[in-house]
């Protein structure tokens, strides 16, 4: 409703990303663990800001940081059978926020689209050629769970945590040139 929105100009936002990690392999390569810690520093964060009564436009509204830790483990339990899992933890906060920013006006304290935690677990199985001596059986299942998060910058809409289950079964030629897979994704 405000023509000023059309002419509103904002600057790019910048992210400085820092990451440190460790990759471990043991038991003759059958167990692999990856650990990573990271920090993202946002400057000139782009979000909506009030520019007049009832009018909001994208603007540079302040600075924020996001810290996280991810751990991933993959284990080859037997020939062709692998278990995997990972977990992620995140913590975020505004370092500074323009008082006219949509988040500040409505009391939003958390960055949007950032769940505090998530995890995933599953398995992959690939048989030796068994069907007519030429085709191998492929099985896969993955379960993913994510915590709740705010869907908008003003923290007025919260998305509850949810889980997703994906699975597939298939046949593939020994050389992997051809495969037929039936998959269900949630």
73, two tokens: 């483990």
Question: What are the pLDDT digits (tens) for 89-110?
Answer: 999 999 999 998 989 988 889 9
What pTM value is reported for the model? 0.81
Query: Radius of gyration (Cα) for the chain, nearest Å?
Result: 23
- Could you tell me which of 137, 139, 24 has the C-alpha nearest to residue 83? 139
User: How far apart (Å, rounded) are the C-alpha atoms in residues 140 and 121?
Assistant: 11
| Three-state SS at 107 | coil
Q: Which residue has the tokens 């062709």?
A: 80
Contact criterion met (CB below 8 Å) for 182 and 172: no
Question: What are the pLDDT digits (tens) for 128-145?
Answer: 888 777 899 999 999 999
- Could you tell me which of 9, 17, 91 has the C-alpha nearest to residue 46? 9
CA angle 36/150/160 to nearest 5° reads 90
Averaged pLDDT score across all residues of the chain: 92
Provide the pLDDT confidence category of residue 161 given band limits of 50, 70 and 90. Answer: very high
Provide the pLDDT confidence category of residue 2 given band limits of 50, 70 and 90. Answer: low
List of long-range contacts for 180-185, beta carbons under 8 Å, 24+ apart: 181/138
Contact criterion met (CB below 8 Å) for 21 and 35: yes
Q: Which position has the higher pLDDT, 79 or 9?
A: 79
117, two tokens: 């935690």
The H-assigned helical ranges of the chain are 4-7, 102-105
User: How far apart (Å, rounded) are the C-alpha atoms in residues 149 and 162?
Assistant: 10
CA distances from 6 to 1, 45, 128 (A): 10, 20, 62
CA angle 10/2/102 to nearest 5° reads 55
């Amino acid at each position: 409703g405000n023509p000023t929105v059309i002419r509103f100009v904002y600057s790019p936002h910048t992210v400085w990303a820092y990451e440190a990690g460790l990759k471990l392999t043991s038991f003759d390569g059958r167990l692999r663990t990856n650990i990573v810690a990271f920090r993202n520093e946002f400057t000139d964060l782009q979000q909506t800001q009030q520019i007049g009564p009832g009018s909001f436009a994208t603007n540079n509204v302040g600075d924020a940081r996001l810290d996280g830790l991810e751990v991933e483990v993959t284990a080859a339990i037997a020939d062709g059978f692998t278990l995997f899992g990972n977990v992620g933890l995140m913590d975020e906060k505004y370092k500074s926020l323009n008082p006219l920013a949509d988040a500040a006006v409505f009391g939003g304290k958390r960055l949007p689209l950032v769940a505090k935690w998530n995890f995933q677990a599953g398995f992959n199985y690939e048989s030796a050629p068994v069907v007519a001596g030429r085709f191998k059986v492929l099985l896969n299942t993955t379960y993913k769970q994510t915590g709740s998060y705010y869907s908008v910058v003003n923290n007025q809409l919260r998305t509850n945590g949810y889980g997703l289950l994906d699975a597939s079964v298939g046949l593939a030629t020994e050389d992997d040139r051809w495969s037929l897979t039936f998959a269900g994704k949630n």
